[in-house]
Amino acid sequence: MACVGLVIEFFAGVVDFPTIPPGPFILGISGIVVLALGRARWPIVLGFVAALFLTVGGLIEGSVWHRIADPGQTADWIGVLLQWPSQVVALVAGALAIRQAYFRRLRPV
């Protein structure tokens, strides 16, 4: 959903959006890898790192706060509302999946 939100923001014409935005490619490719190689453990880390990268980058860039506070620009606002909660869910789910995949406790017999 975060990728869809980014695409909506791109086509809505968000000011200062890159000509070719890397976000949808990063999220889309990492999502495909996670789905295709779901049995392996490393794709989970790839998906988590991709979501973390875009979240930190978006927070550093800072324009998200203006777009989410202004529902007058409907397409921008809908894109942000799709992107950011989806990224939070991806980060929480990714952290839990990594914990389960890499830090399983051995149960005593």
Look up residue 38 and give its amino acid: G
Give pLDDT tens digits for 40-68: 889 999 999 999 998 898 888 877 777 77
Find the angle CA(31)-CA(34)-CA(36) to the nearest 5 degrees.
105
Q: Would you say the C-alpha torsion 42, 39, 50, 30 has a positive or negative sign?
A: positive
Give the structural domain span for 41.
23-102
- 108 within a domain of the structure (yes/no): no
Report the distance separating Cα 100 and Cα 105, nearest Å.
9
Q: Check residue 92 and give its pLDDT.
A: 95
Average pLDDT, the chain: 83
User: With 80 as the cut, is the pLDDT of residue 96 above it?
Assistant: yes
Q: pTM for this structure?
A: 0.79
- Please report the pLDDT score of residue 73 as a whole number: 75
Token reading at 1 = 């959903």
What lies within 8 Å, CB to CB, of 64 at 6+ separation is 58, 80, 84
Inside any domain, residue 66: yes
Q: Given a cut of 70, is residue 106 above it in pLDDT?
A: no
Question: Per the structure, how many domains does the chain have?
Answer: 1
pLDDT at 53: 92
Q: Which of 66, 79, 69 is nearest to 23 (CA)?
A: 79
C-alpha 41/C-alpha 46 separation (Å) is 9
